[in-house]
Amino acid sequence: MGYTAFERAPLGLGILMLSLGAVANDQVLNTLQPASPAACIALTSNAERLSCYDQLFKVTPTEQADLVSQTQTIKDQDSAAVSLTEKVLDTVIPTAAAPIHPTRSFLDQRWELSSDSKLGTWNLREYQPVYLLPVFSTTDKNERPTSPNPDNSVKMGEEQNLKSTEAKFQLSFKTKAMENILGDNGDVWLGYTQSSRWQVYNEDESRPFRETNYEPEASLIFRTNYEILGLSGRLLGLTFNHQSNGRSDPLSRSWNRVMLNVGLESDNFALMLRPWYRLSEDSSDDNNADIDDYIGRGDLTAFYRWNEHDFSLMLRHSLQGGSDAHGAVQFDWAFPITGKLRGHFQLFDGYGESLIDYNHRATYAGLGISLLNWF
């Protein structure tokens, strides 16, 4: 069987692809249209933040150094003002959450929710984590993928010759296409995520890419402000999501979903709830008719930051009982190494680690590096 030159590329190519996240950040520096100093403050990178100030104030290098000092004073004053506002709101309007503060809100930093955090349109921004796991191992290889559609089931005797250990990497970014469609609220975002499982150690099969999932989406995101169970409700959105693996039968897999997005947070903790509805397809052409019975009908992702260590936990379920109850859990830990480079550990158990394995249960463990995390 033949493979492209890209599939024969060394592992260094995966690392090069991972660096696209850093390239995207450089592009942001050239196109930012900050609405206020608060929008610049929300940027986590020192270089990006200073460039943002340049775009806003067009300052000279000498003035820029003075501005950095002044900004710290502004941040301290803002923190005191926000603390006072929170106390007033707790007394007068107990059901309202505190105002969004760019430097303290994870969701605002990622989605430019408050009016003071807007950075304009068509800037490449972070989305899902960007990482490379040179070691990604499973307990149960899926060498003969199946589906209710006989055209999408590998026949006996045609099993793939797979290694239990491979490499995995993920690229992800988003950009705002429209801003403030309802007053000072409501933004349209376009996102793209790609994750690949590379049999880089499988020399006998010419090191093929076992599975690549492509996930473009469009989202309408609104800022919210309410309090529930001690969490501040910050985000409400609606997303059209397509996911496919771009392969021919019998290995082709794809589906379309409409998702509801609910984002809540408190201090160094954030929570994203995403129930979804699968859009129906012609049964004769459906590659994976029962995919929502395995990958599920919604997921819940919790994020927590502690001393520069980022932890996330994803829970997914079919929302059915008994023998029809299926789902998955994924734990990620990103820890500092140097600068923006971080170590990354990932543990997955359940159904649907990738689309080709949507109805196959397995446990995966991976270790590598990451450039970007959830927040």
Binning the chain into helix, strand and coil, the percentages to the nearest 5 are: 25, 40, 35
Nearest one of 115, 165, 204 to 362, comparing CA atoms: 165
Nearest-angstrom CA–CA distance, 95 and 89: 9
Number of alpha carbons in the 13 Å side-chain half-sphere of residue 231 = 18
Going through 245-308 in order, the beta strands assigned E by DSSP cover 254-266, 269-278, 298-306
- CB of 139 closer than 8 Å to CB of 353: no
Per the annotation, the verdict on 244 as an active-site residue is yes
SS (H, E, C) 136-174: EEECCCCCCCCCCCHHHCCCCCCCCCCCCEEEEEEEEEE
Three-state DSSP class for residue 230? coil
CA distance 88 to 271: 25
The tokens describing 234, both together, are 């910050």
**DSSP 3-state of 256:** strand
**How big is the chain by its Cα radius of gyration, in Å?**
22
Catalytic residue among 36, 45, 115, 242: 242
Query: Beta strands 269-278 and 298-306: pairing type?
Result: antiparallel
Written as six digits, the tokens of 352 are 């649907």
Distance separating alpha carbons of residues 106 and 373, to the nearest angstrom: 11
Dihedral sign for Cα atoms in the order 75, 265, 237, 333: positive
The CB density around residue 97, as the number of other CB atoms within 10 Å, is 21
Tell me the C-alpha distance between 369 and 357, whole Å.
24
The one catalytic residue in 45, 115, 244, 266 is 244
Catalytically active residues are: 242, 244
